[in-house]
Structure 1
Amino acid sequence: MKTNFSPINLNKTKSYVLKFSFLLVVALQMTSCGSAKKSSYFNEVGNNTFASYYEPLEPILQKNDLLSINITSLNAEVTEMFNIANNVGGIQTPGYLIDQDGFIRFPVLGKIAVAGLTKKELREYIREELISKRLLMEPIVDIRFMNFKVSVLGEVNQPAVFTIPNEKVTLLEALGMAGDMTIYAQRNNVLLISEEDGIKSTKRIDLTSDELFTSPNYYLKPNDIVYVQPNDRKVRNTSNATQWFSVILGSLSLAVISIASF
């Protein structure tokens, strides 16, 4: 049985299929396209100045922190004995590990309770002890973190744990080390997880406004975790609905090609 197609009907069919395909593509694009504003940083920032919050927020020493403590004085021979790393559980470490009770074992001075102190407070304590016990004259005490690290996870290009040698890193620098956020990141809802004295705290940060510059969270603390959440576009792109859109669109494209060829 032979079927005859009228040129007019054929053209109408092709026109309807093409129009429907076009509308479907537009709908798909609208559901997948994110707002340009939501994809950039600090949309509301103009000319301004912001005070630094770094100095008042010197990190508190905690259990499992690894410290480098270096002593210098005019008497180099005597000073050398204070620059030997402590022995923890029979293992020689390259620094002073704060144990689970909050102590370090320092040469001559013995056990020192350090958890809860700042580096400045510990520096002054060791200095005063060395002077009061007549062990050294005018000693200089330098203390540094050896395990200052932050983690950046989620919708970034290179999620990882980063060690910070200079003990000072901003949230923006940490994101830069992680290769910046992906296009699927929620820039207005970045989660910061911190821990101090065994207590975890969370903070939501909007990087599309200037709130970060006036926040104490501008500079990260040791062991901070930055989690960048996926936006709705990422969720949609991984949903079954989007997969079905692709199937339907592919089928319609095949139909158009077939009609055109016919």
Structure 2
Amino acid sequence: MSVNKWIVSIACGIVFFSCASSKDIVYLQDVKENGRLESEFEYKTVIHIDDLLSIVVSCDDPEAALPFNTPMIGLGREVASTGQQSPPGYLVDKEGYIDFPVLGKLRVDGISRVELSEMLKEKLAVYLKNPIVTIQFQNFKVTVLGEVRNPGSYKVTSERVSIFDALGMAGDLQINAKRRNVLVMRENGKEKTFARLDLTSGNLVYSPFFYLQQNDVVYVEPSRGRIVGGNVGTFLPYVLSSVSTFVAVLALILR
């Protein structure tokens, strides 16, 4: 085989393997255009120990609601870097309770925000006319680690965040990240649950881990090439440039 043909063969091989590697990069590869996937899993964010809840009570008579809106845990604490007060809230204790004005200790661990709102309205109906209860999570965050552009913990303003939302907040995956084996760790009291997600598969939406819960941790592994090569990616352009120069000179010599 001539040197020219040899060079062409190498170039074709590089192109082939580059195209093949795209199968490990593209998300949701088997989803059809205009196709629809309906998950059987019902998404519901439940309250956990150490959650910080904002609970505001109102009714037809604002004066009557005042005893149920006393200053909550966190009021008055200063944030050194900004000088602003941290948001007030009811902290769920280690036993899963909050201490609510007038009503006393209430078990809230394991129920949803909507369920807690309904429970409070039922109990407050004894004291108030047409009570309205507004509840929000104050410390809903997810943590994304590993092969992403900006690893860290991210506060979530809504209580519905998917695995793709979290990765988007972290700047998306690095090119050398494993997309078929993303680990999600979920903690519920003393129990920890782990799941592996394949971001390239449309079946991902059927997983109960597709939507994240507060304090979930997402870890993205590096590819084997990244582990073996270390920082070789930094020098790869220079290596390829030197190799191409060498091949060009060799072709001239052997012509």
> How far is the alpha carbon of 1:128 from its aligned partner?
1.4
1:163 corresponds to 2:155:
yes
Unmatched runs of 5 consecutive residues or more in structure 1? 1-14
2:190 aligned with 1:198, yes or no?
A: yes
**Distance (whole Å) between structure 1 residues aligned to residue 154 and residue 30 of structure 2:** 30
Are the counterparts in 2 of residues 53 and 219 from structure 1 also a CA contact under 8 Å? no
What is the alpha-carbon distance in structure 2 between the residues aligned to residue 96 and residue 236 of structure 1? Answer: 48
Count how many residue pairs are aligned between Structure 1 and Structure 2. 240
2:106 paired residue among 112, 115, 120: 112
* 1:216 lines up with 2:216 in the alignment: no
Describe the shift of the 1:157–1:87 C-alpha distance in structure 2 as closer, same or farther (beyond 3 A): closer
Asked if structure 2 preserves the Cα contact closer than 8 Å seen for 1:86 and 1:93, the reply is no
C-alpha distance in structure 2 between counterparts of 1:252 and 1:118, whole Å: 61
Deviation track 1:31-85 (CA, whole Å, cap 9, x = no partner) reads x95701111111211142122567x332221110000111111011121232234
Letter in 1 for 2:104: G
Aligned with residue 37 of structure 2, among 36, 50, 72: 50
- Max radius of gyration: which structure? 1
Give the 3-state SS of the residue equivalent to 1:191 in structure 2.
strand
SS at match of 1:144: strand
Q: CA deviation at 1:207?
A: 1.2
Q: 2-side partners of 1:178 and 1:87: how far apart?
A: 31
In structure 1, the partner of 2:83 is: none
Q: Return the alpha-carbon distance in structure 2 between the equivalents of residues 35 and 251 of structure 1.
A: 22
Contact 1:157 1:178 in 2 (8 A): yes
> For structure 2, which runs of at least 5 residues remain unmatched after alignment?
78-85
Displacement of 1:137 in angstroms is: 1.1
CA contact (8 A) 1:67 1:144 kept: yes
Structure 1 residue 39 corresponds to structure 2 residue 25: yes
| TM-score scaled by length of structure 1 | 0.75
The answer to whether the Cα contact below 8 Å between 1:73 and 1:140 also exists between their aligned partners in 2 is yes
Shift of residue 96 of structure 1? 0.4
Residue 145 and residue 87 in structure 1: after superposition, are their counterparts in 2 closer, same or farther (change >3 A)?
Answer: closer
Q: 1:181 to 1:115 in 2, by over 3 A?
A: same
State, as a whole percentage, how many aligned pairs show the same letter: 38
Instruction: Work out the CA distance in 2 between the residues paired with 1:41 and 1:252.
Output: 33
Q: Distance in 2 between matches of 1:125 and 1:215?
A: 30
Structure 2 match to 1:232: 224
The equivalences for 1:93-172 within 5 A come to: 94-132=88-126, 135-172=127-164
Asked if the contact 1:38–1:186 (Cα under 8 Å) also holds between the matched residues in 2, the reply is: yes
The alignment yields a C-alpha RMSD, in angstroms, of: 3.7
CA apart distance, 1:252: 11
